[in-house]
Amino acid sequence: MSGIGNALQGVKLKKTTPVEKPVVIDKTEQVLAALEKQAPQEVALQKSEDEWKTELTPEEYEIIRGKGTEAAGSGEYDRFFPEQGEGHFACRACKQPLYSAAAKFDSGCGWPAFDKCYVGGVLMSIDNSHGIKRIEITCGKCGGHLGHVFLGEKETATDERHCVNSMSIKFVKGPPATKMEEKSLTAT
The domains of the chain, with CATH numbers, are 23-183 (2.170.150.20)
Residues 149-178: tens digit of each pLDDT: 999 999 999 999 999 999 999 999 999 999
The residue among 84, 111, 102, 88 whose CA lies nearest residue 156 is: 102
The residue among 155, 150, 154, 144 whose CA lies nearest residue 121 is: 144
Which residue of the set 117, 139, 142, 163 is catalytic? Answer: 163
The residue among 27, 43, 36, 25 whose CA lies nearest residue 126 is: 36
Residues 10-25: tens digit of each pLDDT: 655 555 555 555 544 5
Q: H-helix or E-strand containing 50?
A: helix 49-55
Contacts 24+ apart (CB under 8 A), 2-8: none
- What pTM was estimated for this model as a whole? 0.83
Q: What is the pLDDT of residue 97?
A: 98
Residues 78-96: tens digit of each pLDDT: 999 999 889 999 999 999 9
How large a percentage of the chain has pLDDT more than 90? 69
Q: What's the mean per-residue pLDDT of the chain?
A: 89
The residue among 144, 136, 165, 164 whose CA lies nearest residue 49 is: 144
Looking at 93-102, 114-123, 129-138, which range is the least confident one?
Answer: 129-138
Instruction: Please indicate whether residue 142 is annotated as part of the active site.
Output: no
Q: What is the pLDDT of residue 24?
A: 47
